[in-house]
Amino acid sequence: MPKKSTQSTSTADLAPQTNIPNVFKDGLPIPKMFAFDLDYTLWPFWVDTHVTPPLKAKEGGAKSVDRFGESFAFYRDVATILATMKSLPSPPLLATASRTHTPDLAQTLLKQLTVPTTPWIPATTTFKPAREFFDQHQIFPGDKKTHMTRLSEKTGVAFEDILFFDDETRNRNVETLGVTFWLVRDGVTWAEVERGVREWRRRNAKDGK
């Protein structure tokens, strides 16, 4: 049975994000790269089976609608997570790492869905395509170890400095490379990001203990 979730986002859902997680302000290291799977990690659907092109952006990029009028959007916290990470004094690299069989469709969604340019939503905020918040995209079928290898080669970031969020246990095999894997069951949230960073610190002895 397909997974179901109601945690997609809209402009109205985006509340002010004044309480940045403590891991971003406690003075301890954070990963140099945050990598994210797409399906059931950043958005609550499989792009290659649930989405029927063509797609059209709606509500200023808060969602995208396909040929049959079905709406597709990020999980609720994703937009402010991306905006917050890129607003940090020393922002980490952000990357996508997806094995979808429809990479062009995934890229179209990333272009149509938008993210605020600040981690809060004042009346005067501007929005940019979500795709522009990511420094690297590795979207193709195959083992996620290949995705991580290409990300490391293209950016010079060591495997040990990558934190990878994914909803499938089988992709934990990236840990054989030295990447920290964090399993998310119902999409990326602020709580999952914080727990992931703490696990990365524990694995790399950077938790100050």
Active site residues: 37, 39
- In DSSP terms, 75 is beta-bridged to 8
Residues 6 or more apart in contact with residue 183 via CB below 8 angstroms: 166, 167, 169, 172
Question: Which DSSP letter does residue 91 get?
Answer: P
Which position has the token pair 């301890």? 28
Residue 92: name the closest of 164, 173, 140, 195 by CA.
164
How many C-beta neighbours within 10 Å does residue 142 have? 10
Instruction: Yes or no: say if 154 and 97 are a contact pair by the CB < 8 Å rule.
Output: no
Which position has the token pair 């079928």? 141
Residue 199: name the closest of 188, 187, 183 by CA.
183
